[in-house]
Amino acid sequence: MANNKEELLKQLADAVVDMDEEKAVELSQIIVAEGIDAYEAIEKGLSAGMEVAGRLFEEEEYFIPELLMCSDAMYAGLSVLKPHLKAKEGAAEEKVKIVIGVIEGDTHDIGKNLVKILLETSGYEIIDLGRDISPQKFIDTAKEQDAKIIAISTLMTTTMDGLAEVIRLLQQQDIREQFKVMIGGAPVSQAFADKIGADSYAVNAATAVRLARQLTGGAA
């Protein structure tokens, strides 16, 4: 049984890496039928698979099409396993929350979606605001949800100042220290992050995960 369990979890991880949505669903159903803990299956199967996918993406073995298909397989498995999560584990393990979105005036969201997927599979709870989001909305949500990190993306130079505006508003409202602000997107840079006083700049989705870990002191 122990062997069988380890084997199933490994197969589930492989199904994610292999972008095999049907297989991920099928294995998740077997896992549930076998009475294997759903939380463990998510951690050691689905998340482990996405971690490999993220690494392959960083190493340029995988590109955006593969990463999206891996995440489709991961979410398909998740929808089978999630109803079987025991309540206590959800409560026991309070996840660090991150509010993420594309700034007002910009609707390009593939980059944001990739960052979201990788953060989510690295154990963070992601509140995804979507695209074209006002600076104040980021702050209001982060306050309501007691988030630790605000992650903002933009692909356009015309909307870059919206990122600075989030930080200005945090300062004006005297709550800058409550949140870490992480930025990303083609027109921004480390220099821009320094200039506007953001806590970090992520050059790509994999880096965003590492930086989130640093910003939260290794949590999640």
Footprint on this chain of another protein (rule: CB under 8 A): 19, 60, 62-66, 68-69, 72, 105-110, 113, 156-158, 160, 186-189, 191-192, 195
Cα dist. 202→16, 19, 30, 48 in Å? 25, 26, 38, 22
User: With respect to another protein, which residue has the nearer C-beta, 18 or 37?
Assistant: 18
User: With respect to another protein, which residue has the nearer C-beta, 188 or 212?
Assistant: 188
User: With respect to another protein, which residue has the nearer C-beta, 63 or 146?
Assistant: 63
Measured from the CB of residue 113, what is the shortest distance to another protein in angstroms? 7
| Of 101, 136, 131, 94, residue with least CA distance to 116 | 101
Q: Is 128 helix (H, G, I), strand (E, B) or coil?
A: strand
Measured from the CB of residue 7, what is the shortest distance to another protein in angstroms? 27
- Consecutive H or E run containing 152: strand 149-153
Torsion of CA 55, 59, 63, 64, to 10 degrees: 50
Measured from the CB of residue 43, what is the shortest distance to another protein in angstroms? 26
Helix spans in 110-159 (H): 110-121, 135-145
User: With respect to another protein, which residue has the nearer C-beta, 148 or 185?
Assistant: 185
Measured from the CB of residue 157, what is the shortest distance to another protein in angstroms? 4
